[in-house]
Structure 1
């Protein structure tokens, strides 16, 4: 099995090529963030309506995510938490994973390894449980957007 060259022997061009995907993701996130800052999603229908909520009247795990992201971008942590606590907890995790992805690409010149299958199963379980929990009347005050 071929191994990557030691980091000190990688040409700068190879490092940049390896970092293209994480940098593209960062660019896309920056454009989306700019859009959210320029057009506040707190206005009714400003970014459309959640299809799950429109069809069922139930909040999905993502409901309030755009508003929470907007609030985080403008420094309103309490407002973001009120819109979607799960998203507020996930943002630093996703940022750390992105940094790890970029650093690995720059150091090794290789793509990120796929996570183990249990990560996907756990993520789906958390999203489903959170979706149910935020629609339980006793918890709606704390979890519903």
Structure 2
């Protein structure tokens, strides 16, 4: 499809806008309802069953701290979530830019080596944050009902 001047017609920005609204609404809820106070969020099933922090444990508290502008507390709660927020923001900005320019924004398949590398990194992070010398990667201890 093209306009009168022969340029490609801009693609709809609906999908990036809907994604931003959904993430924004979820983030606003986490900003308002403090995960540090028990009773608002379910306990992580992995932590409940094993007693170990999973790679996402502390993620809600991390997002809550990010909405407060406390980067050091957010990194302490879950450094992987902070990195994921940065990557997701870059991905969303690129997606929106491409949509505004009328370019297709396919989500390419992830190469198998990247998939295995990500799995290995998540396992290593999980094991490290649960060992005594890696406790600096674990979120602050809270009662199981307050995760």
TM-score between the two structures when normalised by the length of structure 2 = 0.82
Q: Is the 8 A contact 1:36 1:66 kept in 2?
A: yes
1:56 shift after superposition: 0.7
Q: Residue 54 of structure 1 corresponds to which residue in structure 2?
A: 48
Secondary structure at the counterpart of residue 130 of structure 2: coil
**1:1-145 pair list within 5 angstroms:** 9-12=7-10, 15-16=11-12, 19-117=13-111, 118-140=113-135, 142-145=136-139
1:81 shift after superposition: 1.3
1:88 shift after superposition: 1.5
Q: Is the 8 A contact 1:62 1:84 kept in 2?
A: yes
**Structure 2: gaps spanning 5 or more residues:** 140-147
Q: Is the 8 A contact 2:31 2:63 kept in 1?
A: no
Secondary structure at the counterpart of residue 101 of structure 2: helix
| Structure 1 stretches of at least 4 aligned residues deviating more than 3 Å after TM superposition | none
Higher RCO (CA 8 Å, separation ≥ 6 residues): 2
Q: Is the 8 A contact 1:104 1:112 kept in 2?
A: no
Secondary structure at the counterpart of residue 75 of structure 2: helix
1:61 shift after superposition: 0.3
TM-score between the two structures when normalised by the length of structure 1 = 0.83
| Higher share of residues assigned helix | 1
Q: Over the residues paired in the alignment, what is the CA RMSD in angstroms?
A: 2.0
Change (3 A) 1:122 1:107: farther
- Spell out, residue by residue over 1:10-48, the C-alpha distance to the aligned partner (whole angstroms, 9 max, x if none): 335xx22xx332222111101001101110111124211
Aligned length: 136
1:55 shift after superposition: 0.8
